Amino acid sequence: MIVYACLPARYNSARFPGKVLAKDTGKFLIQHTYERACLAKLPNKILIAADDKRIAQAAKSFGAECIMTSRDCASGTDRIAEAVAGLDVDIVINLQADEPEIDPANIDAVAKLLLENQKSKIKNQKYDMATLAAEFQNAQQIADPNIVKVVVASIEHRALSAEALAKAESSIGARRAVYFSRSPIPYDREKGGVGPLTCYLRHLGIYAYRKDFLLKFTKLPQGQLEQIEKLEQLRAIENGYPILVGKVEHFCDGIDTPQQYAEFVKRYKNSHKGHREHRDK
């Protein structure tokens, strides 16, 4: 099966205009993400889907393939769908362009969920969409509405033996998403909201879609839950399409603000300080 990872890039980001072209490290922000994606093993190609010629020019400068899309795309998912509509690809990974520290293994992990599910012989357990989650580090993160939570359930397993069930769920702890929310879910009544950390999962904003479903997904109507929570993935759940969730250990925060970018630049320069000093000798 052919797997592409696609980075949707919009120039006029609301909180940080032009952020994908920020270059305080000597590299464009989107270049950092692209180079991390190139380290993943499963994607056959890494693409950038852009709405501005300045992004396309930057992509060309570091050797990335860029597809120009409409400025009117409502979301990154719509931008990716437009970019890959005419391409021969089976699975499309939606990778945010502002995650310069993403673990390449996570890109492989989300692709692997759909690749392995394709081979599944379990009736009615074909998934067209997958994403990732990780454990929380502290209770404050659970209470933060800017960090999305996900509740998962075991994959449906009527008439399956314990051995068959374990095999079905073996792929990096794959489970079916029940709900995503900005609120602490599940709500621990006895603890007044947030209970033990092990009861919660942090959603990571990376997705894998089967191409046919991706094109269908962008045409589905927005439901009330999506409009209330402002979470696009709820569109699939509201329209009856299950989402496969894999649990991973490592995650990174994306860059949403100039302050977060400044912190990344500091981390990057500190981590490369030894390399520069060695080169200068």
Q: Which residues of the chain have pLDDT under 50?
A: 157-166, 168-171
CA–CA distance, 114 with 210 (Å, rounded to integer):
8
Q: What does the pLDDT look like over 158-206, one tens digit per residue?
A: 444 444 444 544 445 679 999 999 999 998 888 878 888 889 999 999 9
pTM: 0.89
Q: How many CB atoms lie within 10 A of CB 163?
A: 8
Burial 126-138 (b: 16+ CB within 10 A, else e): ebbbbbbbbebee
Tally of domains in the chain: 1
pLDDT of residue 192: 78
Phi, then psi, of 206 in degrees rounded to 5: -125, 140
Place of tokens 């692709």: 111
pLDDT of residue 251: 85
Q: How many CA atoms lie within 13 A of 183 on its CB side?
A: 9
Range of the domain at 223: 3-280
Helix residue ranges, H only, 135-210: 139-143, 162-168
CB-based burial of residue 190 (10 Å sphere; 0-12 exposed, 13-18 middle, 19+ buried)? exposed
Q: What beta strand segments (E) does 160-216 contain?
A: 175-181, 201-210
pLDDT of residue 122: 58
- CATH code, domain with 230: 3.90.550.10
CA–CA distance, 88 with 114 (Å, rounded to integer):
17
DSSP secondary structure letter of residue 221: P
